[in-house]
Amino acid sequence: MKRLALALLFVLCAAALVRAETLTVASGAGYKRLVTDLATAYEAKSGKKLELIFGNMGQVIAQAKASGKVSMIIGEQSFLKKSGVPLASFTELGKGALVVAWPKGKSMSGLGDLAKPEVKRVAMPDAAKAIYGVAGMEALERAGLSDAIKGKLLVVATVPQVMTYVVSGEVDAGLANLTDVQGQSDKIGGYFVVDRSQYSPISIGAGVLAGQESAEVAAFVAFLNSAKGRELARKHGL
């Protein structure tokens, strides 16, 4: 009986140690393809498994604050700072790009096209939950289009939701990010990159949460800074 109890205790301790060493990385859903590719490449190199969490940034940040288990959040630097989540460090992966995408059978050449009568619905992420919602609103305001398309806007929580509407043809256009759009370019009519001067710079990177610093976290940050990590970031439009 004593041996059985000791064996059970050993198993429980080992399981707890594995959980403690598992690096949990959270990210906005619009960067799921990028983060998944980074995790796959890191796991192949290191042999260590990452736990990934995706959602709108509001959900991701709330979960990180409440659970105490998220080691790193991949997202936009200023958005993370404003959220109040405590960061020990931030490693930039690249600059995000706002794009306008449209369904097959349609065509556009600039932001002004969104105001045309034939464009009835325009999907965009919620500015309170996604940085590309913020960028989208800035771009529309600077282009003098806010009032013209206000009644056309379909506001959703995440970039992937925007693209779901674009791919299905339920909207005439969508404001999204280059990373997510590139992954679905064969399913849509096309897209253009919005002039970066039309919105505030978008610094996408990995924020390590205060209190979560560890050798495993440092190893993943080093991978993000490696040639392979930078190559994957560029591949996904950063």
CATH of the domain at 68: 3.40.190.10
pLDDT at 21: 61
* 149 and 223 part of one domain: no
How does pLDDT run across 14-39, given as a tens digit for each residue?
A: 333 334 468 999 999 989 999 999 99
CB 169 within 8 A of CB 120: no
Q: Closest Cα to residue 99, out of 189, 33, 180, 204?
A: 180
The span from the CA of 139 to the CA of 170, in Å, is 23
* 114 and 206 part of one domain: no
Q: Assign 129 to helix, strand or coil.
A: coil
Task: List CB contacts of 35: < 8 A, sequence separation 6 or more.
Answer: 25, 27, 52, 54, 74
* 190 and 207 part of one domain: no
Task: List CB contacts of 58: < 8 A, sequence separation 6 or more.
Answer: 128, 129, 157
Q: Which residues pair with 52 in a beta bridge?
A: 25
The span from the CA of 71 to the CA of 213, in Å, is 8
* 145 and 89 part of one domain: no
The amino acid sitting at 127 is A
Q: Which residues pair with 204 in a beta bridge?
A: 76, 94
* 206 and 89 part of one domain: yes
pLDDT at 221: 98
- Mean pLDDT, each 10-residue run in order, the chain (238 residues): 42 37 89 96 96 92 92 95 94 97 96 97 93 96 96 95 97 96 95 96 97 96 97 95
**Predicted TM-score (pTM) of this structure:** 0.83
* 30 and 72 part of one domain: yes
Q: Based on the structure, what is the number of domains in the chain?
A: 2
The span from the CA of 225 to the CA of 94, in Å, is 11
Tokens read off for 102: 């449209």
* 143 and 230 part of one domain: no
pLDDT at 13: 36
The span from the CA of 175 to the CA of 64, in Å, is 27
Q: Which residues pair with 206 in a beta bridge?
A: 74, 91
* 133 and 74 part of one domain: no
Tell me the residue range of the domain where 192 lies.
98-198
* 191 and 148 part of one domain: yes
CB 55 within 8 A of CB 184: no
How does pLDDT run across 117-146, given as a tens digit for each residue?
A: 999 999 999 998 889 999 999 999 999 999
Q: Which residues pair with 73 in a beta bridge?
A: 26, 207
pLDDT at 22: 80
The span from the CA of 214 to the CA of 218, in Å, is 6
